[in-house]
Amino acid sequence: MTRAEVEVLVRADAGMGIGFGHLTRCLAVSRHLTERGVSVTVATRAALPAIIGQMNDAGAKVLSLPAGEPREDPDAPVWTQEAQRADAAEVISQAPPGGWDALIVDHYQLDSVWESEVAPITKRTIAIDDLANRSHKVDVLVDQNWYGIDDHERYAGLVDDETLLLLGPRYAMLHHEYAVARERRGLVSNPPRSVMVSFGGTDVGQQTAKAVVALAMHEDVRIEVVLGTELALTDKIRYLSNHPRVRLHIALPNLVRRMSEVDLVIGAGGTATWERICMGVPAIVTTVSENQSGVTKALHKAGVTRWLGTSDVVTDSDYSLAVTEALSGKLPTVLPIVDGYGAGRVAMAVLPPTKLHVTARPARPIDAPAFVTAGGFSMAGPKVWKCRLKKFTDLLTQGDELMLLMAGALPMGIQERSAASRWIEESIDSDALPKEFT
């Protein structure tokens, strides 16, 4: 297929009120599609130059929708049917001849009403969601989060029986550089010597200054402050950035490099949760919106992260105590459940390839996520993940020949060769693979 023959539309918004998260994960998937020669267009009401730049960097075209309309209220649970149909009509009016080969929608205010409206102009519809609070009429639903051990039933009754569900951190949609950086970064120092403060693209909860003040009270720790846009730079943060141990970064294309150099992150929830886990960096988290708290609470309860609460109740004293404990070496235990290839797995489900070259190579310790969460274990939870990590580590230590299966460039699972030279399937992803392989 040529680039002009395959076209995908992404519908997502971003801005100071709703953050950059929806668009960031969509662009992570888009990059994998454009690398396959697919033409990707993003339909959005976002207008900030930094956001438009991210779309261009991902190789996507931009379809600008009218901005500033009343139905853009980010606090509204779901737009009215009339508003959704109007939004869909604007998208449909821009459809190419024959429609799109696939359509990805990542938007909390759109549901099955919008998806049904656009169905005639796309061959395949994919919804990316976190909330499980509304119905979807789609072929594939992706939710990269984990809300607890009973999480797998969250979408019961909200999607059709035939909808393919890609659930859990195995499908975390991260910038493509995380997969490579994860393998290169060194061990995290404990106690931490370097800390990054990053509360998302816009610092909606105004938490950055609180965290920096708490950290500045301690000597021998370097502080990396990251803001997503100049609009988040307050006078107090500007003043704090003059501290000799503070470095300020604004509008970075991604956090990969900074994450590779720090031992602790203080920040928000959302996709950043999985970026930190991918890099093996522990975190102190303050959630800035209710729809992020469920994941963080569950991970806090499991000991995988440290949650302070929501931004409206967390105090300077809370930060001071949490920072003091962390810098004394009391850090959460990060599990290897994210390998940075989730966006590629989602892209494969968006447009499943008709043929796929499958290879195998000897597994290494860094390949643990390919065993821990594959084959239906992405939603199993920390207790099971720890058991599977121990099994993987024991097998490697005992000298068993473990092979990492690669579907193209994507790790899809681990197989073990027994003493009788028979292959025993241990952990394989098959949901998005072509029929010839499965």
CATH number at residue 307: 3.40.50.2000
- The annotation places the binding site for substrate at 20-21, 275
**Which pLDDT tens digit goes with each residue over 281-310?**
999 999 976 666 899 999 999 999 999 999
Is the residue at 192 inside a domain? yes
- Do 42 and 77 fall within a single domain? yes
- Do 384 and 410 fall within a single domain? yes
Provide the domain count of the chain: 3
Is the residue at 342 inside a domain? no
CATH number reported for the structural domain that contains residue 13 in this entry: 3.40.50.11190
Residue 386 pLDDT > 80: yes
- Do 163 and 193 fall within a single domain? no
Show contacts of 183-191: CB within 8 Å, 24+ apart: 183/366, 184/260, 185/259, 185/260, 185/279, 185/280, 188/263, 188/264, 188/280, 188/281, 188/282, 189/263, 190/263, 190/329, 190/331, 191/263, 191/326, 191/327, 191/328, 191/329
Catalytic (active site) residue 300: no
- The annotation places the binding site at 20-21, 275
Catalytic residue among 22, 107, 136, 218: 22
| 79 vs 15, residue with greater confidence | 79
Q: 120, 146, 171: which is the final residue of a domain?
A: 171
pLDDT for position 47? 73
CA distance 167 to 103: 19
Close Cβ partners of 92 (under 8 Å, ≥ 6 residues apart): 117, 118, 121
Per-residue pLDDT band at 4 (split at 50, 70, 90): low
Q: What residues make up the domain containing 410? A: 356-428
- Do 291 and 388 fall within a single domain? no
**Which pLDDT tens digit goes with each residue over 344-378?**
999 999 999 888 788 999 999 999 998 999 888 99
| 327 vs 437, residue with greater confidence | 327
pLDDT for position 204? 80
Is the residue at 344 inside a domain? no
**Which pLDDT tens digit goes with each residue over 138-168?**
999 999 999 987 677 899 999 999 999 999 9
- Do 159 and 22 fall within a single domain? yes
Q: 171, 190, 217: which is the final residue of a domain?
A: 171
- Do 167 and 184 fall within a single domain? no
Per-residue pLDDT band at 31 (split at 50, 70, 90): very high
Is the residue at 412 inside a domain? yes
Across 147-151, 176-180, 219-223, least confident range: 147-151
- Do 98 and 165 fall within a single domain? yes
| 186 vs 248, residue with greater confidence | 248
- Do 310 and 191 fall within a single domain? yes
Say which residue the tokens 């522990």 belong to: 282
Q: State the chain's mean pLDDT as an integer.
A: 88
In the 3-class helix/strand/coil scheme, how is 108-132 assigned residue by residue? CCCCHHHHHHHHHHECCEEEECCCC
- Do 157 and 19 fall within a single domain? yes
